[in-house]
Structure 1
Amino acid sequence: MTDFLRSETSATHPTLSELFFVFGRVGLLSFGGPAGQIGMMHRVLVDEKRWLSEERFLHALNYCMLLPGPEAQQLATYAGWLLHGRRGGIIAGMLFVLPGFLVIVALAAAYALYQDTHWLPALLFGLKAGVLAIVIEALLRVAKRALKSRFLIGVAVAAFIALFFFGVPFPLVILAAGISGFLKARGGRSTKPDVESKAPPLLRQIRGVLVGILIWQMPLLLFWLLAAPSSLIELQEFFSRLAVVTFGGAYAVLAYVAQVAVETHHWMTASEMLDGLALAEATPGPLVLVLSYIGFLAAFRHPGMLDPMLAGVLGASVAAWATFVPSFIFIFLGAPYVERLRDNAALSGALSAITGAVVGVILNLSVWFGLHVLFGKVDRVELLPQINFGMSLPDWHSLDLASLALFVVSAIMLFRLKFGMLPVLGLCIGAGFIRLWLG
């Protein structure tokens, strides 16, 4: 299998050490939510390193968009698996999350002890302006490569309209795109059976599922044997349930998570939940790392017989474990099937249509993110309430001219001067703290 993957990905194949350092860099710079993170991986893996072809990258992305959980981290795992099998998938998936996890644990600890976040607005001011330019660059790059036909352009436009104007749930948009692509491909040409496309033996797959579930739920057994605080057991159970229903990214479930954390379990107050979201936005990695912040505070405040700081670290680790381990299971069990279906015309058509929908999704995220970066007040206006037709409109008097200026400078650095992300983010963070210093 490894030789097959090597021959099918690209002419240049990385060593494990190269894979480690590249995905370590990706993990450290993965700001901007899924749109920016996917765009950055595209730039590094397809354009710079040429480890993956355009087709292979988009094929992997399409599958990841169908899964619950953080799609960018799943894409990193899939890419690592393509390049170095399961070892590569584990390395890439872990490094995508680990830097942000360590940062959010440190920030959560500082917050639990001091609750001092006066520096956050300055950091977020600069960071978000630079990230907005990065997200737009990622959108243009992915759209240019992915939208190769009028049909796919139409799918992208329809996905954006459904999300931005009608508020259609993300899973329904992806499902509708996949069905439309499947039907179009079936109508255009027949699908030839492929003898080599046989799935792995069923017993092996069942064994893989059982082993994966056992690894995923191992903390529950350890907590029971060690008589750990009940807060850790509650965290493992809650975030395990959440992991398999989190479609559409962190924002799709944050309202529910906040309700459970604040009103049901009383782990924190509503204002502390908002502070945690701000902290997660200021760290690299998936925004869903905010769950580790929640886990830290929950266990820190209900430590049982443990030291509160130790309990907090364990709580953050439990939240991350329950959230991200299923992503590895989905990739390692599902990716071999997905790779064997690349020559199936109907299913390839479905996945190609999902690519078009993904462009619409990224455009919707970009518009939403841009409005909230550049304006202090954004409201959704219902134009036709009967059919749930509306749109987010900013209060033009709330335009932040400093954010606009920093965004323009960042865009010039990226698009015109061809600077990399690190100089752009460095400049923006520095500008944020200069603004704080000037008062």
Structure 2
Amino acid sequence: MTSPEANPAPARDAIRYTLWQLVLYFLRLGSLGFGGPVALVGYMHRDLVEQRTWITEADYKEGLALAQLAPGPMAAQTAIYLGYVHYRILGATLTGIAFVLPSFFMVVALGWAYSQFGGLPWMQAVFYGVGAAVIGIIAISAHKLSTKSIGKDKLLWAIFLILATVTIVTESEIAWLFLAAGVVTWLWRAPPKRWGGGGLAAALPVDMAHTGTWMATLDWPLLTQIGVFFAKAGAFVFGSGLAIIPFLYGGVVTEHHWLTEKQFVDAVAVAMITPGPVVITVGFIGYLVAGFPGACMAALATFLPCYLFTILPAPYFKKYGKLPAIVAFVDGVTAAAVGAITGSVVVIAKRSIVDVPTAVLALLTIGVLWKYKKLQEPVVVASAALIGILLYPLTHP
């Protein structure tokens, strides 16, 4: 009996791209992909599934479902899984690094500037414009995901609406509801006549070791404390950067008193105005607490669990993913994920749309992206940043 790990990779002639091309794509997405996790997974679908056809719709849905079932940042886990699809562990590792590294270096640079110059007042003006535009970007991405992933299935639309409503009301993503959605769809479409021996093990317990550093002169007790805290953030928080922010606030500001409330808000703003995964704000926080070693420890401790929680179950998803029960389960989880993503648009809008100009900017972004479908998001974000710099002094005298 062969193990899932023995499941061979597809023949090279069946793969439409090289590993180097995929790494370059995620390096670019990590450098220019604005809008947070919802927009990022939308870009992956648009670019890799629709336009380049490197990844099949089924593989993409499996990756999105696994990212929702396992703890950790959704966009990074989806990227890691898409790297695993054809190039297994090497592909998962390189795509994950390529996706995270550009934004990590950006937030470290901003952390250095923040520490040297006593804050970044211009960030408020930039975020004023960018935050509103990001709502439009996310709304378009959520619309595309819902129409592609759910179609006309009434059960999936019901799950979508329930999860969207719950996310809006609770302002959080409730992990067990994703599991429940998968189970309900599985039982409705393919009720088990006999048990086939597994395949639903979507999240495996991982014992994450403490991550050491390379210099004996470092503040080991503080770095260990940072590593333990951010490992818990990466290992026990489900969903997107939206879900991890309250957890980080409780530990960084309330429990450990590493940052003030204003510093934490600035850290979140840095994550929103830089490309790549929103959860990279941990690098900025780590830098403010313990310099570059702190940034490295915080980022590594946050992303290592999500990497392990993706590559360990991935062979089981690949081996059992075509069974009718698993297909139904994944469809249910995907509908729940897209519902939660759509609900998060409303939640984020409450924080980003604060007056008439930001509301107009959000609606204008939706209209422009709807009409000009090939318009690159970085152009929209840069334009919104300039508008924010011009408008913020007028609206906040």
Shorter-chain TM-score bucket reads 0.7 to 0.9
Question: In the alignment, which residue of structure 1 is the partner of 2:79?
Answer: 76
Letter in 2 for 1:170: I
Question: In the alignment, which residue of structure 1 is the partner of 2:321?
Answer: 342
Cα deviation 1:256-285 (Å, max 9, x = unaligned): 432332343231212211121111211122
2:271 to 261, 268, 280: 280
Question: In the alignment, which residue of structure 2 is the partner of 1:164?
Answer: 168
Inter-partner Cα distance in structure 1 for 2:386 and 2:246:
32
CA gap 1:11/1:135 in 2 versus in 1, 3 angstroms: farther
- Partner SS for 1:248: coil
Question: In the alignment, which residue of structure 2 is the partner of 1:414?
Answer: 369
CA gap 1:7/1:132 in 2 versus in 1, 3 angstroms: farther
Question: In the alignment, which residue of structure 2 is the partner of 1:232?
Answer: 223
Q: Is the 8 A contact 1:191 1:345 kept in 2?
A: no
Letter in 1 for 2:159: V
Inter-partner Cα distance in structure 2 for 1:422 and 1:127:
11
Letter in 2 for 1:58: K
Question: In the alignment, which residue of structure 1 is the partner of 2:53?
Answer: 50
CA gap 1:257/1:407 in 2 versus in 1, 3 angstroms: closer
Inter-partner Cα distance in structure 2 for 1:415 and 1:337:
38
Instruction: Answer yes or no: is 1:151 the counterpart of 2:144.
Output: no
Q: Is the 8 A contact 1:105 1:296 kept in 2?
A: yes
Inter-partner Cα distance in structure 2 for 1:176 and 1:353:
8
Inter-partner Cα distance in structure 2 for 1:111 and 1:168:
30
Question: 1:437, CA displacement in angstroms?
Answer: 7.7
Question: 1:324, CA displacement in angstroms?
Answer: 0.5
CA gap 1:107/1:364 in 2 versus in 1, 3 angstroms: same
Q: Is the 8 A contact 1:133 1:411 kept in 2?
A: yes
Inter-partner Cα distance in structure 2 for 1:12 and 1:260:
44
2:189 to 185, 191, 216: 185
Letter in 1 for 2:359: L
Cα deviation 1:309-353 (Å, max 9, x = unaligned): xxx000000000111012221222110111111122222211110
Most deviating of 54-63 and 239-248: 239-248
Inter-partner Cα distance in structure 2 for 1:233 and 1:340:
38
Letter in 2 for 1:417: Y
The normalised TM-score by structure 1 is 0.80
Question: In the alignment, which residue of structure 1 is the partner of 2:242?
Answer: 251
Inter-partner Cα distance in structure 2 for 1:436 and 1:372:
16
Inter-partner Cα distance in structure 1 for 2:342 and 2:173:
15
Cα deviation 1:155-199 (Å, max 9, x = unaligned): 111112222235675112212212212221343x7468599x8x9
Question: In the alignment, which residue of structure 1 is the partner of 2:105?
Answer: 102
Question: In the alignment, which residue of structure 2 is the partner of 1:381?
Answer: none
CA gap 1:414/1:191 in 2 versus in 1, 3 angstroms: farther
1:132 to 135, 139, 157: 135
- Unmatched tracts of structure 1, length 5 or more: 200-204, 300-311, 377-398
Inter-partner Cα distance in structure 1 for 2:243 and 2:15:
38
If asked which structure has higher relative contact order (CA below 8 Å, sep 6+), I would say 2
Question: In the alignment, which residue of structure 2 is the partner of 1:386?
Answer: none
Q: Is the 8 A contact 1:191 1:346 kept in 2?
A: no
- Partner SS for 2:71: coil
Question: In the alignment, which residue of structure 2 is the partner of 1:120?
Answer: 123
The normalised TM-score by structure 2 is 0.88
Give the 5 Å matches for 1:282-297.
282-297=273-288
Question: In the alignment, which residue of structure 2 is the partner of 1:423?
Answer: 379
Question: In the alignment, which residue of structure 1 is the partner of 2:212?
Answer: 219
Letter in 1 for 2:277: P
Question: In the alignment, which residue of structure 2 is the partner of 1:364?
Answer: 343
State the percentage of identical aligned residues.
Answer: 27
Q: Is the 8 A contact 2:235 2:306 kept in 1?
A: no
Cα deviation 1:47-85 (Å, max 9, x = unaligned): 121101112101111111101110110100110111322
Inter-partner Cα distance in structure 2 for 1:94 and 1:351:
26
Question: 1:406, CA displacement in angstroms?
Answer: 2.6
Question: In the alignment, which residue of structure 2 is the partner of 1:65?
Answer: 68
Q: Is the 8 A contact 1:11 1:51 kept in 2?
A: no
Q: Is the 8 A contact 1:6 1:13 kept in 2?
A: no
Inter-partner Cα distance in structure 1 for 2:41 and 2:287:
28
Most deviating of 169-178 and 88-97: 169-178
Letter in 1 for 2:230: F
Q: Number of paired residues?
A: 387
- The root-mean-square deviation of aligned C-alpha atoms, in Å, is 3.0
Q: Is the 8 A contact 1:143 1:359 kept in 2?
A: yes
Q: Is the 8 A contact 1:130 1:406 kept in 2?
A: yes
